[in-house]
Structures are given as C-alpha cells and as structure tokens.
Amino acid sequence: MKLLLQRVRQAHVAVEGETIGAIGQGLLVLVCAERGDTEDQADRLLAKVLRLRIFADEAGKMNRSVQDVGGGLLLVSQFTLAADTSSGNRPGFSGAAAPEDGRRLYEHFVDRARALHPQVATGRFAADMQVHLVNDGPVTIPMQA
C-alpha cells in the first residue's frame, strides 16, 4: 500500500458539488492499494499514521501525533499513487490493485481507522472527487508498506 499524508488546517472532499467528508485540523490521507497488498499491511500503516509525530508541540517541534492533537482523518482512495512513469509520457497503472481488491482494502483501512480514532471522514471509492485542503506547513509525507 502507498499513502500520501498531508497535514492540514482543514480539508474536505466533494462529489458532484456535494461535500461528503470534511475535517478541521488533522491529516488528509490519500490511500492506494497495490497488487498483492494485505489487510496486515493496511493495519501496520494505519498504526504508523496514528502515531506519526508531525504536529507541533509547545516548543514548535514536530513531536505530537494526530491522536495527541485530537485531529481528524480524511481518508481518500487514490489509485493514481500506483502510477508507473518510467517509460513514455502516459502513466501506467498495472501496479494498482484490481478494483474489487482496492475497494476491499480501502474499506478495511477506513473501518479500522474508525475503530481506533474518533474523527474519521472519507471520500467515495472510485468516484470523481474534488479534494480541497489547506496544507499546514506544508507537511506532506509519503508512506509505503
């Protein structure tokens, strides 16, 4: 699995002009399932996301997690993180999980996040989404299982 975390002041995702998920301070997490990924990998990445110390403490040091600051999670499926741009000018996506596997792993990630964290919003799998965010820092961190 690949994730792209963005520390945000606020973020929301819309489908057909309707906001379907929104958070204030927290993390926008773009989630990509790749071929061969497992629920165990998703669980390990989620645990890392929840503990990753990328929010400022009283001294201004990145020393607090999203859980420490009571921030939200906005989880958005994004198969394009699996893009292969090594040849030609058109990205290939053969490394992305098949749609049914991608949906299953994304939904597992969301379900586990909701079990472990009090504020979780989502996008809609396979929808044409517009993601709006105010990146804080900016802090953008890639993660991979």
Query: Active-site positions?
Result: 78-80
Name which of 133, 132, 134 is nearest 15 in CA terms: 132
